[in-house]
A and B are shown apart, each in its own frame.
Chain A
Amino acid sequence: MREPLLVPVGQYLGPVHAGPGRPPRHHLVRIGWDTVALADGVEADLWSLAHGRPDIVGLLPATRSTLDAVAAEVGVLGTEDAVTRMLAAGVLAEVPVGSPRAEQFAAGHRWHSLLTGLAEGPGGMGVGLLGAPPLRELTPPAFEVWTWAQLFPDLLTAAAALVRGVATPGSDLATTDPDAALTTLLDSLPELTCVRAGWIDIVPGAR
């Protein structure tokens, strides 16, 4: 059985320094209309790492065990309590792909795309800032999620719509199986969040 995905939730609004020369008081993450303050240090570092680190090849943190491995690699220690706190605060979510809990997560969360689309490169469609090198060349499924998922009120509806044929023919998302489409969508998230190509919010009223 697969280990659950560990998904970061929320719109990052950065550190807040209370005054000149002072360390960050906290880091702001907005979820719905709420704001969550992440403690500077292990908590903020872990939440950032949970988005993925494309520069650490082979250790794209999509699960708790890969997050632990990446955290150890970059020297972030004492992760267990911080992960537990962030799961409770809703800024991290464990999603057992292929289970009813995955559908529940997808029905209660939605996608917001960031960045702009650039030229197609050898690794896929580039996304980033116009006039600058792409931050990442996305695989076809990730590019389709980036392009389309933001149009739908939640991830479950987005996956269902992709099944109905809005996805590019021949892509991994062009399937007739809603469960398979949702799994592909969820599996694409780390590729997108690792370069902050978007973020996941709660559906209004879902919290």
Chain B
Amino acid sequence: MTAPGGVLLALGWQAGPADADGGVVVWLADRPCTLTAAEHQVWSLSLGRPDGTGPTTAGDVVATAGLPAGEVGRLLDGLAARGLVLTGPDLVSLAPRVRLVCIADGWGNTAEQPAAFTYGIGSRPLVRLPRFLYEAVATAHRWPDLQQAATGSAEVFAVTAPHLAEATDPAVLLSRLLDALPALCSTHTAHLAPAAVRPGGPA
């Protein structure tokens, strides 16, 4: 069973309803997966807490799902077996296994808050980030996985923003991206896909 203390990452892009009973179609790379309403509830909770306070654990999902712990565990195990949830001891260990894909609109910054760059959908702001993180999120899909995205983006920032230690150190940038994942994914600013299998560099 999924370890209660381990971290979770939910993978997939929600593309619409599957049936009238609350089932949902979630795309995992090029594969459509149908989730029951209960599976979708647990999957959605595994996306992370909107306030972005730390990674999500199986224990968090049990605490918020309103379902018996055994049932949540069974659902998580099923999602994990289908590749819709990844588990691990920490997020850094999962970074080479996922690709970050932004699905929101870039709104840039404002004259009132020039340091905060916003992603939004429709008329609703979703996430505010410092510029280097905003740009790293925008380009992350071009790399096969999140670890390579952090390394590649840090190389770019070493040229375009060499004074920003947070942006130019690959480990620090990866840490900042991982810290942002719960807020990015739970607000549907971005989703995680399985790491691309294609060899080599960025798309």
Contact = CB atoms under 8 A, between A and B. Distances in A.
Contacts of B102: 114
B109 A13 contact: no
Given A30-B138, A116-B188, A129-B188, A16 B108 contact: yes
Nearest to B134: A13
Given A14-B117, A14-B118, A120-B16, A132 B124 contact: yes
Given A14-B106, A14-B107, A151 B30 contact: yes
A15 B138 contact: no
A13 B120 CA distance: 11
A140 B134 CA distance: 33
B135 interface: yes
B110 interface: yes
Interface string A97-134: 00000000000000011111111100001001110100
A21 to B, nearest CB: 5
Contact of A13 (B14, B16, B108): B108
B122 A12 contact: no
Nearest to A32: B142
Contact of A117 (B15, B122, B134): B15
Nearest to A19: B114
Nearest to A21: B111
A27 interface: yes
Interface string A2-22: 000000000111111111111
Interface string B175-188: 00000000000001
Given A116-B188, A117-B15, A28 B108 contact: yes
A196 B105 contact: yes
Contacts of A41: none
A15 B116 CA distance: 12
Interface in A1-53: 11-24, 27-28, 30, 33
Contacts of B122: 128-129, 132, 135, 195
B13 interface: yes
Contact of B114 (A17, A27, A118): A17
A20 B106 contact: no
A147 interface: yes
Nearest to A130: B188
Contacts of B14: 116-117, 130
B13 A116 contact: yes
B108 A24 contact: yes
Interface string B65-92: 0000000000000000000000000000
23 contacts: A13-B108, A14-B105, A14-B106, A14-B107, A14-B109, A15-B110, A17-B109, A20-B111, A21-B112, A28-B108, A112-B141, A114-B103, A115-B121, A116-B15, A117-B14, A117-B17, A120-B16, A120-B17, A129-B122, A129-B126, A147-B27, A151-B29, A196-B105
Given A20-B112, A117-B25, A204-B202, 20 more contacts: A12-B105, A14-B105, A14-B106, A14-B108, A14-B109, A14-B118, A16-B108, A18-B114, A21-B111, A27-B108, A30-B138, A30-B139, A114-B102, A116-B14, A129-B124, A132-B124, A135-B121, A147-B27, A151-B30, A204-B203
